[in-house]
Amino acid sequence: MLNIMIFKKQVFTFSIFILINIFTVGCFIQKNDTRNYSLDPKQEKITIQGLVQIHFPYCGGASPPPELEQGRFSPTANSSFFIVIKEDSSRTPVDSFITDKKGYFEIKLIPDEYSIFSADKMRPFSDFIENKGGDGNYILSRGTDCLKEWYNTPDYALNAKQDTMINIIFYSRCYTGINPCLIYNGPYPP
């Protein structure tokens, strides 16, 4: 009988210990995360609509026709992007979106300041830099420091205060694409 009472007292003490820890952790999380994105369904959200495009310059050798002189825009179809709180250095996404075949997207967010990163920049840096260097012939790399700066720079800075439409544009360069850390050092078309 005494053993049963001791066991019940230990279970009760352990249960109280668990409840106190759950309460303490819950208070800590709530105190330190004033923007609780997933647990407050009543939080008012705004609608962000957008278009993601790549601008391609004219890279031909002959004089371009007037409609090509300024380059052309092409949608980034079926591309993944991640939304991160601006000050979050750990890059923990609060949401994400995938563009449709015309480069459009729509997402609902709590008003705040965000950084938008392409899926490529959400990978570890060591994976990100794979195949981002030059070919050693005509395409040269500016080096790892340049790649690290590009990796850490958001693709778009969003100050979401109200429903809005945004346009995210990646600028391609002749022969090196959107990678700003590559330099083309070869011959140009006549």
Distance between CA atoms of 49 and 108, rounded to whole angstroms?
9
State which CATH number among 2.60.40.1120, 2.60.40.10, 2.40.340.10, 3.30.420.40 fits the domain covering 46-128+149-177. Answer: 2.60.40.1120
Contact 170, 53 (CB under 8 A): yes
Residues 22-38 pLDDT 10s: 443 344 333 344 455 54
User: Which residues are CB-neighbours of 99 under 8 A, at least 6 positions away?
Assistant: 52, 75, 76, 77, 78, 79, 81, 105
pLDDT band at 2 (very low <50, low <70, confident <90, very high): very low
Contact 156, 171 (CB under 8 A): no
- Can you give the residue ranges of every domain in the chain? 1-30, 46-128+149-177
Residues 57-96 pLDDT 10s: 988 878 888 888 888 999 999 999 999 999 888 889 999 9
Q: Angle CA(30)–CA(36)–CA(41) in degrees, nearest 5?
A: 120
Distance between CA atoms of 101 and 168, rounded to whole angstroms?
15
